[in-house]
A and B are shown apart, each in its own frame.
Chain A
Amino acid sequence: MRIVTLLARHGTDKYGDAVAAMDALFARQMPDADRELLIVDTALPESHVEALGPGRALIGASNSHWEFSAWDRGLRHLGKRLDGFDFVHLATSAFGALYTRYLDRFDTGMLALLQGRAAAVGHLDYYNETVTICGRSLRSWLRCSFVFLPPVELKLLGSLVGVADPSAFFSGNPQQPFRADAPLSKTYRDNIIGWLTGSGTGQSVQWHSRFELTAETLALFEAKTLAILNEQMLSSRLRAQGCALVDAIWLATRPGQLRAGRLLGEIPSWRVQLTQRDVDPAPKTLLGADDAN
Chain B
Amino acid sequence: MTGAPAAYDIFIDLSHAGVAGPALRRHLDRLAHDAGLAPLAGCVTVCTASVELADMRDCGFDVELRSGPAIDVLMRAIRMAARARRHLVILLGDIAPGSEVIAALIEAFAQDPMFGTSQPRFAEPSTDRIWPIPGGEAQRPPLSHRASLPQLAVDTITPELPACCVVLRWELLIGVETSDQHGRTLAGGFLHLLAEGRRLGFRNIVRNRVVLSAPLHVYDIYPTPPIEEIEQLYALDSYAAGTPLLLANLSERRAEMLIEAAHPDANGRRRLLLDCRGMPPLHNGTAVCTLGFLDGFRALTDTWDIHVLAFASTAAFHNFKSRYPAYTHVSDTLAGTYAAALLLSQPWDIGRVAELHRHARAISFLMLDAIAWDIYPNWKGPEAAWGFIAQYADALFYISRFTQDRFNKRFPVAPDVGEAVTHLSLAAEDHARSLPTLEPIANDILIFGNDFHHKHVRPTAQLLSDAFPFHRIMVIGTANIPGSNVTATQSGNIERDTLDRLIAGASVIVFPSFYEGFGLPVVEGLARGRTVLVRRSALWSEIAALSRLPGQMCEFDNPASLVDGVGRALHGLPMTPLPSGVGLAAGEAPADWRACARRASDLLVRQLDGASMQRWRVREHALRIVDQ
Contacts and interface: CB of A to CB of B under 8 A. Distances in A.
Contact of B34 (A185, A241, A270): A270
Interface range for A: 35 or more
A236 B100 contact: yes
Interface stretch (B121-129, B185-193, B339-347, B412-420): B121-129
A62 B121 CA distance: 34
Contact of B40 (A132, A156, A244): A132
Interface string A256-287: 00000001011101110000000000000000
B313 to A, nearest CB: 44
Contacts of B40: 132, 135-137
A20 interface: no
B211 interface: yes
Contacts of B29: 288, 290-291
Contacts of B354: none
B38 A242 contact: no
A237 B210 CA distance: 9
Contacts of A267: 125
A185 B211 contact: no
A22 B262 CA distance: 37
B101 A239 contact: yes
Interface string A129-166: 01010111111000000000000100110000000000
Chain A CB count within 10 A is highest, among B36, B37, B125, for B36
B572 interface: no
A239 B120 CA distance: 12
Contacts of B353: none
A112 interface: no
A269 B101 contact: no
Interface range for B: 35 or more
Interface string A165-209: 000000000000000000001110000000000000000000000
B103 A118 contact: no
B122 to A, nearest CB: 9
A290 B104 CA distance: 30
Nearest to B25: A290
Interface string B105-128: 010000000000000110101111
Given A137-B38, A185-B2, A240-B210, A271 B150 contact: no
Chain B CB count within 10 A is highest, among A134, A241, A288, for A241
A137 B150 contact: no
Given A117-B128, A239-B98, A240-B98, A132 B2 contact: yes
B33 A288 contact: yes
A237 B100 contact: yes
Nearest to A139: B36
Interface string B248-259: 000000000000
Interface string A225-239: 000000000001101
Nearest to A272: B34
B212 interface: yes
B384 interface: no
Contacts of A139: 33, 36
Nearest to B148: A152
Contact of B212 (A117, A242, A271, A291): A242
A153 B146 CA distance: 9
B26 interface: yes
Contacts of B100: 136, 236-237, 239-240
B150 A152 contact: yes
A137 B212 contact: no
Contacts of B3: 185-186
B126 A265 contact: yes
Contacts of A290: 22, 25-26, 29
B103 A134 contact: yes
B7 A135 contact: yes
Contact of B103 (A116, A185, A240, A291): A240
B34 A135 contact: no
A242 B123 contact: yes
B101 A271 contact: no
A112 to B, nearest CB: 15
A80 B606 CA distance: 13
Contacts of B479: none
A16 to B, nearest CB: 37
B209 interface: yes
A186 B3 CA distance: 8
A132 B39 contact: yes
Contacts of B30: 269
Nearest to A286: B33
Nearest to B212: A242
B138 interface: no
B1 interface: yes
B209 A137 contact: no
Contacts of B2: 132, 185-186
A137 to B, nearest CB: 4
B149 interface: yes
A31 to B, nearest CB: 26
B467 interface: no
B33 to A, nearest CB: 7
Contacts of A80: 609
Nearest to A152: B147
A99 B217 CA distance: 41
Contact of A263 (B37, B39, B126): B126
10 contacts: A132-B40, A135-B103, A136-B103, A138-B36, A152-B150, A185-B3, A186-B3, A237-B100, A240-B210, A242-B120
Interface of A: 80, 116-119, 130, 132, 134-139, 152, 155-156, 185-187, 236-237, 239-242, 244, 263, 265-267, 269-271, 288, 290-291
Given A132-B40, A239-B100, A266-B215, 9 more contacts: A116-B128, A118-B128, A119-B128, A132-B1, A132-B4, A239-B98, A240-B101, A242-B121, A291-B29
- Interface pairs A-B: 4 shortest CB-CB: A242-B211, A137-B36, A118-B128, A240-B100
